[in-house]
Chains A and B, each alone.
Chain A
Amino acid sequence: EADIYQTPRYLVIGTGKKITLECSQTMGHDKMYWYQQDPGMELHLIHYSYGVNSTEKGDLSSESTVSRIRTEHFPLTLESARPSHTSQYLCASQGNNYGYTFGSGTRLTVV
């Protein structure tokens, strides 16, 4: 059973559309992260949060934005999708044992 959920699993969308990738966890973790990953490549941290109303940009510059209004919810938004945003987006939360629990990812294709 997954304790962290990402929706949608796959998304194909046209250029210029606004999209929100959902990420929710039921473990009560304060720390949550968004990674961007091209197929077979390394993970790039794009956003993270250490609790409600706390968000920070990651190591890789991204045109996306995030919010953290509730502990369990950490959505990522692209205001205007472009083909360069085509990638997999992985959400993770971090417990007291420091390890990450990852969601199943969202594979985004912008056409």
Chain B
Amino acid sequence: AQKITQTQPGMFVQEKEAVTLDCTYDTSDQSYGLFWYKQPSSGEMIFLIYQGSYDEQNATEGRYSLNFQKARKSANLVISASQLGDSAMYFCAMREGGKVDGNEKLTFGTGTRLTIIP
């Protein structure tokens, strides 16, 4: 089974509208972390937002927020007031386990290509 599932290969959104990018995850660990990264056409990976499994409140960073629904195992990224510069690939990722010296590789989803239409 996929550990990270992003079901939207591509999305088109009108500028200034809000957009939700879906991410569901699968883990049996109690301690885990969820990340979102943005990858513009230039290729670099830009960290956007992080949510820990024990965080009681949804993470927010400027126009980005993470809609964390633990029971449903979903961690959707919400971008408010979308801008043309938001056009990019977006990857959801998960880190399992809580020990610093353990296996802490991130598992990435397949990504969603977001295109903002003027």
Which residues of chain A have a CB within 8 Å of any CB of chain B?
A: 31, 33, 40-43, 45, 48, 50, 88, 90, 92, 94, 96-105, 107
25 contacts between A and B (CB under 8 A): A31-B104, A40-B113, A41-B111, A42-B91, A42-B108, A43-B91, A43-B108, A90-B45, A92-B45, A96-B100, A98-B33, A98-B95, A98-B104, A98-B106, A99-B47, A99-B106, A100-B35, A100-B45, A100-B93, A101-B47, A102-B37, A102-B46, A103-B44, A104-B43, A107-B43
Interface, chain B (partner A; CB < 8 A): 33, 35, 37, 42-47, 50, 89, 91, 93, 95, 100-101, 104-106, 108-111, 113
The 8 closest A-B pairs by CB, nearest first: A102-B45, A42-B110, A105-B43, A104-B44, A98-B95, A43-B108, A98-B33, A88-B43
